[in-house]
Structure 1
Amino acid sequence: MTISILAFDEKSGRLGGAAATGSLCVGGWVLRGHAESGLSASQGSAPSTLWGEGVLARMKEGASAQDAVRAMTDPDTGRAERQLAALDLNRGTAHFTGDNSVPHASAVTAPGVVVAGNMLTGPAVLQAALDAFLTSPLPFAERLMAALGASAREGGDVRGYQSAALLVVGRDIPPLTLRIDHAADPLAALADLHARATAEPYHGWLRVVPVTDDPFRAPTEDDKRLFDSASIPR
Protein backbone atom coordinates (compact mmCIF):
# COMPACT_ATOMS: atom_id res chain seq x y z
CA MET A 1 0.00 0.00 0.00
CA THR A 2 2.99 2.29 0.51
CA ILE A 3 6.66 2.78 -0.24
CA SER A 4 8.90 4.86 2.00
CA ILE A 5 12.57 5.78 2.18
CA LEU A 6 14.48 7.07 5.22
CA ALA A 7 18.04 8.30 4.76
CA PHE A 8 20.98 10.15 6.27
CA ASP A 9 22.72 12.83 4.22
CA GLU A 10 26.49 12.62 4.66
CA LYS A 11 27.06 16.10 3.26
CA SER A 12 24.70 18.08 5.49
CA GLY A 13 24.22 15.72 8.44
CA ARG A 14 20.46 15.96 7.96
CA LEU A 15 17.88 13.20 7.96
CA GLY A 16 15.13 12.85 5.40
CA GLY A 17 12.27 10.66 4.37
CA ALA A 18 9.82 10.39 1.52
CA ALA A 19 6.76 8.25 0.96
CA ALA A 20 4.05 7.58 -1.60
CA THR A 21 0.93 5.45 -1.59
CA GLY A 22 -2.13 4.48 -3.58
CA SER A 23 -4.31 5.84 -0.77
CA LEU A 24 -4.75 9.29 0.82
CA CYS A 25 -2.64 11.37 3.21
CA VAL A 26 0.57 9.33 3.27
CA GLY A 27 2.54 12.08 5.02
CA GLY A 28 0.25 12.22 8.03
CA TRP A 29 0.05 8.46 8.37
CA VAL A 30 3.59 7.32 7.63
CA LEU A 31 6.41 9.79 8.18
CA ARG A 32 7.64 10.99 11.58
CA GLY A 33 10.94 12.62 12.47
CA HIS A 34 12.94 15.05 14.57
CA ALA A 35 16.52 16.27 14.55
CA GLU A 36 16.98 15.01 18.12
CA SER A 37 15.53 11.52 17.64
CA GLY A 38 15.68 10.26 14.04
CA LEU A 39 13.03 9.16 11.57
CA SER A 40 10.31 6.53 11.35
CA ALA A 41 7.93 5.25 8.69
CA SER A 42 4.93 3.30 9.96
CA GLN A 43 2.71 1.79 7.29
CA GLY A 44 0.75 -1.32 6.33
CA SER A 45 -2.87 -2.43 5.98
CA ALA A 46 -3.54 -1.26 9.55
CA PRO A 47 -0.72 1.24 10.19
CA SER A 48 0.07 2.30 13.73
CA THR A 49 0.96 5.95 14.25
CA LEU A 50 1.76 4.83 17.80
CA TRP A 51 4.62 2.76 16.39
CA GLY A 52 6.03 5.78 14.58
CA GLU A 53 5.88 8.01 17.64
CA GLY A 54 7.08 5.30 20.00
CA VAL A 55 10.17 4.56 17.92
CA LEU A 56 11.12 8.24 17.94
CA ALA A 57 10.68 8.48 21.71
CA ARG A 58 12.93 5.48 22.30
CA MET A 59 15.61 6.66 19.89
CA LYS A 60 15.62 10.10 21.54
CA GLU A 61 16.39 8.30 24.82
CA GLY A 62 19.38 6.63 23.15
CA ALA A 63 17.97 3.35 21.82
CA SER A 64 19.23 2.13 18.47
CA ALA A 65 16.80 1.89 15.57
CA GLN A 66 16.91 -1.88 15.88
CA ASP A 67 16.10 -1.89 19.59
CA ALA A 68 13.39 0.76 19.15
CA VAL A 69 11.67 -1.19 16.38
CA ARG A 70 11.81 -4.38 18.39
CA ALA A 71 10.37 -2.63 21.45
CA MET A 72 7.36 -1.43 19.45
CA THR A 73 6.67 -4.49 17.34
CA ASP A 74 7.24 -7.39 19.73
CA PRO A 75 4.37 -6.63 22.18
CA ASP A 76 1.82 -5.70 19.49
CA THR A 77 -0.61 -8.56 18.83
CA GLY A 78 -1.68 -6.82 15.60
CA ARG A 79 1.84 -6.59 14.22
CA ALA A 80 1.15 -9.00 11.37
CA GLU A 81 -0.84 -6.25 9.63
CA ARG A 82 1.83 -3.58 9.97
CA GLN A 83 5.21 -2.48 8.65
CA LEU A 84 7.79 -0.22 10.27
CA ALA A 85 11.14 1.31 9.36
CA ALA A 86 13.44 3.50 11.44
CA LEU A 87 16.66 5.50 11.15
CA ASP A 88 18.55 6.60 14.25
CA LEU A 89 20.99 9.47 14.76
CA ASN A 90 23.97 7.13 14.38
CA ARG A 91 22.77 6.18 10.87
CA GLY A 92 21.53 2.82 12.09
CA THR A 93 18.49 1.38 10.33
CA ALA A 94 15.88 -1.23 11.19
CA HIS A 95 12.68 -2.56 9.69
CA PHE A 96 9.81 -4.93 10.37
CA THR A 97 7.28 -6.40 7.94
CA GLY A 98 4.27 -8.22 9.36
CA ASP A 99 3.39 -11.68 8.10
CA ASN A 100 0.01 -10.53 6.74
CA SER A 101 1.42 -7.60 4.75
CA VAL A 102 0.00 -7.43 1.24
CA PRO A 103 2.63 -8.62 -1.26
CA HIS A 104 5.00 -7.65 -2.48
CA ALA A 105 6.14 -6.47 0.96
CA SER A 106 9.70 -6.22 2.27
CA ALA A 107 12.56 -3.77 2.82
CA VAL A 108 16.06 -3.14 1.49
CA THR A 109 18.90 -1.24 3.11
CA ALA A 110 22.25 0.40 2.51
CA PRO A 111 24.43 2.25 5.05
CA GLY A 112 22.26 5.03 6.44
CA VAL A 113 19.29 4.21 4.17
CA VAL A 114 16.22 1.98 4.47
CA VAL A 115 13.45 1.53 1.89
CA ALA A 116 10.29 -0.33 2.89
CA GLY A 117 7.11 -1.09 1.03
CA ASN A 118 4.01 -3.23 0.73
CA MET A 119 1.36 -3.86 -1.93
CA LEU A 120 4.03 -3.22 -4.55
CA THR A 121 4.19 -4.69 -8.04
CA GLY A 122 7.36 -6.57 -7.06
CA PRO A 123 10.69 -6.46 -5.20
CA ALA A 124 12.30 -4.48 -8.01
CA VAL A 125 10.30 -1.43 -6.87
CA LEU A 126 12.27 -1.26 -3.62
CA GLN A 127 15.63 -1.79 -5.27
CA ALA A 128 14.89 0.84 -7.91
CA ALA A 129 14.14 3.39 -5.21
CA LEU A 130 17.30 2.54 -3.27
CA ASP A 131 19.51 2.61 -6.37
CA ALA A 132 18.08 5.94 -7.50
CA PHE A 133 18.80 7.53 -4.13
CA LEU A 134 22.34 6.15 -3.94
CA THR A 135 23.32 7.17 -7.48
CA SER A 136 21.53 10.49 -7.91
CA PRO A 137 23.80 13.58 -8.09
CA LEU A 138 20.95 15.84 -6.94
CA PRO A 139 20.74 17.61 -3.55
CA PHE A 140 19.40 15.58 -0.65
CA ALA A 141 15.68 16.36 -0.84
CA GLU A 142 15.65 15.89 -4.60
CA ARG A 143 17.41 12.53 -4.18
CA LEU A 144 14.60 11.38 -1.91
CA MET A 145 12.02 12.44 -4.47
CA ALA A 146 14.07 10.76 -7.21
CA ALA A 147 13.73 7.52 -5.26
CA LEU A 148 9.95 7.84 -5.35
CA GLY A 149 10.07 8.57 -9.06
CA ALA A 150 12.17 5.47 -9.70
CA SER A 151 9.74 3.37 -7.69
CA ALA A 152 6.85 4.60 -9.82
CA ARG A 153 8.64 3.80 -13.06
CA GLU A 154 9.27 0.27 -11.79
CA GLY A 155 5.56 -0.22 -11.06
CA GLY A 156 5.18 1.22 -7.55
CA ASP A 157 1.99 0.57 -5.61
CA VAL A 158 -0.25 -1.82 -7.55
CA ARG A 159 -2.97 0.87 -7.46
CA GLY A 160 -0.71 3.70 -8.60
CA TYR A 161 -0.01 6.70 -6.35
CA GLN A 162 -2.57 9.13 -4.90
CA SER A 163 -0.49 10.90 -2.25
CA ALA A 164 3.16 11.65 -1.55
CA ALA A 165 5.21 13.36 1.15
CA LEU A 166 8.69 14.61 1.97
CA LEU A 167 10.26 15.27 5.38
CA VAL A 168 13.76 16.67 6.03
CA VAL A 169 15.01 17.49 9.53
CA GLY A 170 18.28 18.87 10.87
CA ARG A 171 19.57 20.78 13.83
CA ASP A 172 20.33 23.81 11.66
CA ILE A 173 17.04 24.04 9.74
CA PRO A 174 13.32 24.18 10.45
CA PRO A 175 11.62 20.90 9.51
CA LEU A 176 10.79 20.72 5.83
CA THR A 177 7.53 18.81 5.80
CA LEU A 178 5.64 18.74 2.51
CA ARG A 179 2.49 16.75 1.88
CA ILE A 180 0.36 16.07 -1.17
CA ASP A 181 -2.68 14.40 0.36
CA HIS A 182 -4.48 13.67 -2.92
CA ALA A 183 -3.56 14.33 -6.55
CA ALA A 184 -3.74 12.71 -9.94
CA ASP A 185 0.07 12.93 -10.10
CA PRO A 186 1.26 13.36 -6.51
CA LEU A 187 4.96 13.00 -7.34
CA ALA A 188 4.81 15.89 -9.79
CA ALA A 189 2.78 17.92 -7.30
CA LEU A 190 5.33 17.21 -4.57
CA ALA A 191 8.19 18.32 -6.81
CA ASP A 192 6.33 21.54 -7.62
CA LEU A 193 5.60 22.23 -3.95
CA HIS A 194 9.24 21.60 -3.06
CA ALA A 195 10.37 24.05 -5.76
CA ARG A 196 8.07 26.71 -4.34
CA ALA A 197 9.08 26.03 -0.72
CA THR A 198 12.78 26.40 -1.56
CA ALA A 199 12.41 29.59 -3.62
CA GLU A 200 12.36 33.20 -2.44
CA PRO A 201 10.81 34.86 -0.56
CA TYR A 202 9.51 31.86 1.37
CA HIS A 203 12.88 30.15 1.68
CA GLY A 204 14.56 33.33 2.92
CA TRP A 205 12.01 33.65 5.68
CA LEU A 206 13.07 30.24 7.03
CA ARG A 207 16.47 31.60 8.03
CA VAL A 208 14.96 33.67 10.85
CA VAL A 209 12.73 31.09 12.53
CA PRO A 210 14.02 29.12 15.53
CA VAL A 211 15.94 25.86 14.98
CA THR A 212 17.36 23.28 17.34
CA ASP A 213 20.86 24.79 17.32
CA ASP A 214 19.54 28.38 17.56
CA PRO A 215 16.24 28.26 19.47
CA PHE A 216 15.98 32.03 20.01
CA ARG A 217 16.56 33.13 16.43
CA ALA A 218 14.36 36.02 15.26
CA PRO A 219 14.26 38.48 12.33
CA THR A 220 16.40 41.60 12.22
CA GLU A 221 14.92 44.96 11.27
CA ASP A 222 16.24 44.48 7.74
CA ASP A 223 14.52 41.12 7.60
CA LYS A 224 11.25 42.66 8.72
CA ARG A 225 11.37 45.31 6.02
CA LEU A 226 11.96 42.62 3.42
CA PHE A 227 9.16 40.46 4.73
CA ASP A 228 6.70 43.34 4.78
CA SER A 229 6.91 43.47 1.01
CA ALA A 230 6.77 39.70 0.45
CA SER A 231 4.06 37.08 0.55
CA ILE A 232 5.09 34.93 3.50
CA PRO A 233 3.33 33.45 6.55
CA ARG A 234 2.82 36.00 9.33
Structure 2
Amino acid sequence: MTYSILARDAKTGILGGAAATGSLCVGGWVLRGVAGVGMSASQGTAPSTLWGEGVLAMMGDGASAEKAVDAMVSPDAGRDYRQLSALDARGGTGAFTGAASVPAAGARQGDGLVVAGNLLTGEEVLEAARDAYLASTLPFAERLLAALDAGAAAGSDSRGLQSAALLVVSPDAPPLTLRVDMSETPLAALRALYERAQSQPYAGWCDVVPVLNDPHRRPRAEEMEVLAEQAASKA
Protein backbone atom coordinates (compact mmCIF):
# COMPACT_ATOMS: atom_id res chain seq x y z
CA MET A 1 0.00 0.00 0.00
CA THR A 2 3.02 2.25 0.37
CA TYR A 3 6.60 2.83 -0.66
CA SER A 4 9.14 4.62 1.49
CA ILE A 5 12.78 5.57 1.70
CA LEU A 6 14.93 6.19 4.79
CA ALA A 7 18.42 7.62 4.38
CA ARG A 8 21.39 9.11 6.19
CA ASP A 9 23.29 11.90 4.47
CA ALA A 10 26.90 10.70 4.46
CA LYS A 11 28.36 14.23 4.56
CA THR A 12 26.31 15.66 7.42
CA GLY A 13 24.82 12.72 9.30
CA ILE A 14 21.34 14.21 8.86
CA LEU A 15 18.56 11.61 8.79
CA GLY A 16 15.47 11.70 6.62
CA GLY A 17 12.63 9.75 5.12
CA ALA A 18 9.91 10.09 2.54
CA ALA A 19 6.84 8.02 1.73
CA ALA A 20 3.86 7.90 -0.60
CA THR A 21 0.72 5.77 -0.70
CA GLY A 22 -2.58 5.22 -2.45
CA SER A 23 -4.36 5.76 0.87
CA LEU A 24 -4.60 8.73 3.25
CA CYS A 25 -2.23 10.29 5.77
CA VAL A 26 0.98 8.43 4.95
CA GLY A 27 3.14 10.75 7.05
CA GLY A 28 1.18 10.14 10.23
CA TRP A 29 1.04 6.39 9.69
CA VAL A 30 4.47 5.57 8.34
CA LEU A 31 7.33 7.94 9.15
CA ARG A 32 9.02 8.44 12.53
CA GLY A 33 12.40 10.01 13.31
CA VAL A 34 14.55 11.33 16.15
CA ALA A 35 17.68 13.37 15.47
CA GLY A 36 20.81 11.51 16.50
CA VAL A 37 18.87 8.28 16.99
CA GLY A 38 17.29 7.05 13.78
CA MET A 39 14.34 6.79 11.42
CA SER A 40 11.58 4.25 10.95
CA ALA A 41 8.91 3.44 8.38
CA SER A 42 6.06 1.17 9.52
CA GLN A 43 3.62 0.21 6.78
CA GLY A 44 1.69 -2.73 5.35
CA THR A 45 -1.82 -4.14 5.08
CA ALA A 46 -2.38 -3.69 8.83
CA PRO A 47 0.46 -1.37 9.85
CA SER A 48 1.49 -0.79 13.46
CA THR A 49 2.54 2.69 14.50
CA LEU A 50 3.80 0.98 17.65
CA TRP A 51 6.46 -0.74 15.56
CA GLY A 52 7.81 2.56 14.28
CA GLU A 53 7.94 4.09 17.73
CA GLY A 54 9.28 0.92 19.33
CA VAL A 55 12.31 0.57 17.07
CA LEU A 56 13.19 4.22 17.67
CA ALA A 57 13.12 3.60 21.43
CA MET A 58 15.39 0.57 21.02
CA MET A 59 17.83 2.45 18.81
CA GLY A 60 17.82 5.26 21.36
CA ASP A 61 18.96 2.68 23.92
CA GLY A 62 21.83 1.66 21.65
CA ALA A 63 20.43 -1.16 19.52
CA SER A 64 21.34 -1.29 15.85
CA ALA A 65 18.56 -0.88 13.31
CA GLU A 66 18.80 -4.55 12.37
CA LYS A 67 18.53 -5.79 15.95
CA ALA A 68 15.73 -3.34 16.75
CA VAL A 69 13.67 -4.54 13.79
CA ASP A 70 14.18 -8.20 14.76
CA ALA A 71 13.20 -7.52 18.37
CA MET A 72 10.12 -5.54 17.40
CA VAL A 73 8.82 -8.01 14.85
CA SER A 74 9.42 -11.36 16.54
CA PRO A 75 6.75 -11.28 19.30
CA ASP A 76 3.97 -9.82 17.10
CA ALA A 77 1.42 -12.44 16.01
CA GLY A 78 0.23 -10.08 13.28
CA ARG A 79 3.65 -9.56 11.74
CA ASP A 80 2.74 -11.31 8.47
CA TYR A 81 0.52 -8.34 7.58
CA ARG A 82 3.06 -5.66 8.39
CA GLN A 83 6.26 -4.17 7.01
CA LEU A 84 8.97 -2.31 8.91
CA SER A 85 12.22 -0.61 7.98
CA ALA A 86 14.65 1.25 10.22
CA LEU A 87 17.80 3.32 9.93
CA ASP A 88 20.10 4.03 12.85
CA ALA A 89 22.29 7.10 13.39
CA ARG A 90 25.36 5.25 12.12
CA GLY A 91 23.68 4.40 8.83
CA GLY A 92 22.87 0.80 9.68
CA THR A 93 19.59 -0.56 8.37
CA GLY A 94 17.03 -3.24 9.10
CA ALA A 95 13.95 -4.35 7.21
CA PHE A 96 11.11 -6.84 7.51
CA THR A 97 8.34 -7.71 5.06
CA GLY A 98 5.55 -9.94 6.37
CA ALA A 99 4.73 -13.11 4.46
CA ALA A 100 1.15 -11.98 3.81
CA SER A 101 2.18 -8.59 2.39
CA VAL A 102 0.33 -7.81 -0.83
CA PRO A 103 2.74 -8.13 -3.77
CA ALA A 104 4.78 -6.73 -5.15
CA ALA A 105 6.42 -6.22 -1.76
CA GLY A 106 9.96 -6.11 -0.44
CA ALA A 107 12.89 -3.96 0.59
CA ARG A 108 16.28 -2.86 -0.71
CA GLN A 109 19.04 -2.06 1.80
CA GLY A 110 22.39 -0.34 1.41
CA ASP A 111 24.87 1.69 3.42
CA GLY A 112 22.80 4.44 5.01
CA LEU A 113 19.75 3.65 2.89
CA VAL A 114 16.66 1.43 2.97
CA VAL A 115 13.73 1.46 0.55
CA ALA A 116 10.59 -0.60 1.23
CA GLY A 117 7.18 -1.05 -0.32
CA ASN A 118 4.10 -3.21 -0.74
CA LEU A 119 1.12 -3.36 -3.11
CA LEU A 120 3.44 -2.05 -5.81
CA THR A 121 3.14 -2.59 -9.53
CA GLY A 122 6.50 -4.35 -9.33
CA GLU A 123 9.73 -4.47 -7.35
CA GLU A 124 11.30 -2.17 -9.93
CA VAL A 125 9.60 0.62 -7.96
CA LEU A 126 12.00 -0.07 -5.07
CA GLU A 127 15.03 -0.15 -7.33
CA ALA A 128 14.05 3.03 -9.14
CA ALA A 129 13.61 4.93 -5.87
CA ARG A 130 16.93 3.65 -4.54
CA ASP A 131 18.84 4.38 -7.72
CA ALA A 132 17.39 7.88 -8.07
CA TYR A 133 18.45 8.78 -4.54
CA LEU A 134 21.97 7.44 -5.05
CA ALA A 135 22.39 9.16 -8.42
CA SER A 136 21.16 12.58 -7.31
CA THR A 137 23.52 15.42 -6.37
CA LEU A 138 20.72 17.64 -5.07
CA PRO A 139 20.43 18.74 -1.43
CA PHE A 140 19.50 15.89 0.91
CA ALA A 141 15.76 16.53 1.21
CA GLU A 142 15.46 16.96 -2.53
CA ARG A 143 17.17 13.60 -3.10
CA LEU A 144 14.44 12.01 -1.01
CA LEU A 145 11.78 13.73 -3.11
CA ALA A 146 13.56 12.56 -6.26
CA ALA A 147 13.33 8.99 -4.95
CA LEU A 148 9.55 9.31 -4.57
CA ASP A 149 9.25 10.72 -8.08
CA ALA A 150 11.32 7.89 -9.54
CA GLY A 151 9.27 5.27 -7.72
CA ALA A 152 6.09 6.78 -9.11
CA ALA A 153 7.51 6.85 -12.63
CA ALA A 154 8.48 3.17 -12.33
CA GLY A 155 4.93 2.10 -11.46
CA SER A 156 4.18 3.33 -7.94
CA ASP A 157 1.52 2.00 -5.60
CA SER A 158 -0.69 -0.12 -7.85
CA ARG A 159 -3.72 2.01 -6.88
CA GLY A 160 -2.03 5.30 -7.72
CA LEU A 161 -1.17 7.87 -5.05
CA GLN A 162 -3.22 9.98 -2.64
CA SER A 163 -0.77 11.13 0.02
CA ALA A 164 2.94 11.80 0.46
CA ALA A 165 5.25 12.94 3.23
CA LEU A 166 8.79 14.08 3.98
CA LEU A 167 10.55 14.03 7.36
CA VAL A 168 14.11 15.30 7.99
CA VAL A 169 15.67 15.46 11.47
CA SER A 170 18.94 17.06 12.55
CA PRO A 171 20.40 18.21 15.88
CA ASP A 172 21.19 21.55 14.25
CA ALA A 173 17.77 22.34 12.77
CA PRO A 174 14.12 22.01 13.71
CA PRO A 175 12.37 18.96 12.25
CA LEU A 176 11.20 19.36 8.68
CA THR A 177 7.95 17.42 8.64
CA LEU A 178 5.77 17.97 5.60
CA ARG A 179 2.58 16.06 4.82
CA VAL A 180 0.08 16.01 1.98
CA ASP A 181 -2.77 13.92 3.36
CA MET A 182 -5.13 13.79 0.35
CA SER A 183 -4.45 15.02 -3.16
CA GLU A 184 -4.85 13.98 -6.77
CA THR A 185 -1.20 14.96 -7.26
CA PRO A 186 0.46 14.38 -3.88
CA LEU A 187 4.07 14.32 -5.08
CA ALA A 188 3.73 17.66 -6.86
CA ALA A 189 1.94 19.09 -3.82
CA LEU A 190 4.67 17.81 -1.50
CA ARG A 191 7.38 19.37 -3.64
CA ALA A 192 5.50 22.70 -3.67
CA LEU A 193 5.17 22.55 0.11
CA TYR A 194 8.89 21.82 0.44
CA GLU A 195 9.79 24.78 -1.77
CA ARG A 196 7.54 27.02 0.30
CA ALA A 197 9.27 25.79 3.47
CA GLN A 198 12.65 26.81 2.01
CA SER A 199 11.47 30.35 1.28
CA GLN A 200 11.07 33.36 3.53
CA PRO A 201 9.80 34.05 6.10
CA TYR A 202 9.52 30.39 7.15
CA ALA A 203 13.14 29.45 6.41
CA GLY A 204 14.44 32.44 8.37
CA TRP A 205 12.23 31.64 11.31
CA CYS A 206 13.67 28.08 11.39
CA ASP A 207 17.14 29.63 11.76
CA VAL A 208 16.29 31.31 15.08
CA VAL A 209 14.22 28.73 16.98
CA PRO A 210 15.77 26.33 19.55
CA VAL A 211 17.35 23.09 18.30
CA LEU A 212 18.94 20.11 20.06
CA ASN A 213 22.46 21.47 19.76
CA ASP A 214 21.33 24.95 20.88
CA PRO A 215 18.26 24.41 23.09
CA HIS A 216 18.29 27.93 24.53
CA ARG A 217 18.85 29.78 21.26
CA ARG A 218 17.70 33.37 21.52
CA PRO A 219 17.20 35.36 18.32
CA ARG A 220 18.84 38.74 17.99
CA ALA A 221 16.52 41.74 17.84
CA GLU A 222 17.60 42.58 14.30
CA GLU A 223 16.78 39.02 13.18
CA MET A 224 13.27 39.32 14.54
CA GLU A 225 12.84 42.68 12.84
CA VAL A 226 13.76 41.16 9.49
CA LEU A 227 11.39 38.26 10.03
CA ALA A 228 8.57 40.61 11.00
CA GLU A 229 9.14 42.66 7.84
CA GLN A 230 9.16 39.53 5.68
CA ALA A 231 5.96 38.24 7.29
CA ALA A 232 4.25 41.58 6.77
CA SER A 233 5.22 41.61 3.10
CA LYS A 234 3.62 38.18 2.66
CA ALA A 235 0.36 39.25 4.30
TM bracket (short chain): over 0.9
Q: Secondary structure at the match of 2:159?
A: coil
**SS of 1:231 mapped into structure 2:** helix
1:190 Cα deviation after fit: 0.4
**How big is each residue's C-alpha offset from its partner over 1:10-39, in whole Å with a ceiling of 9 and x where there is no partner?**
122200100000000000000000113200
> Structure 2: how far apart are the matches of 1:199 and 1:12?
22
Q: TM-score, normalised by structure 1?
A: 0.97
Equivalent position amino acid for 2:147 in 1: A
Partner of 1:223: 223
State the alpha-carbon separation in 1 of the partners of residues 35 and 160 from structure 2.
Answer: 31
Residue aligning to 2:15: 15
Paired-residue identity, %: 62
Q: Which residue of 1 aligns with 2:168?
A: 168
How far apart in 2 are the matches of 1:163 and 1:88?
26
In structure 2, how many angstroms separate the alpha carbons of the residues matched to 1:110 and 1:79? 23
The residue matched to 1:20 in structure 2 has which SS? strand
Aligned partner of 1:90 in structure 2 is 90
| 2:120 aligned counterpart, secondary structure | coil
Q: Which amino acid aligns with 2:17?
A: G
Q: Quote the Cα distance in structure 2 between the aligned partners of 1:90 and 1:13.
A: 8
Deviations 1:131-189 (A, max 9, x none): 00000121110100000000001111000110000001111111100000011100000
Q: Deviation of residue 228 (structure 1)? A: 2.3
Alpha-carbon displacement from aligned partner over 1:193-221 (angstroms, at most 9, x marks no partner): 00000111110110111111111112111
Give distance in 2, aligned partners of 1:96 and 1:197: 33
Task: Check the 8 A contact 2:145/2:191 in 1, yes or no.
Answer: yes
- Between the aligned partners of 1:221 and 1:31, the Cα distance in structure 2 is 36
TM-score norm. by structure 2 comes to 0.97
| Aligned residue number for residue 103 of structure 1 | 103
Aligned counterpart, 2:199: 199
- For residues 51-200 of structure 1, the aligned pairs below 5 Å read 51-200=51-200
Question: Gaps spanning 5+ residues in structure 1: where?
Answer: none
Q: What is the RMSD of the two structures over their aligned residues, measured on CA atoms?
A: 0.9
Following TM superposition, by how much is the alpha carbon of 1:227 offset from its aligned partner in structure 2, in angstroms? 2.4
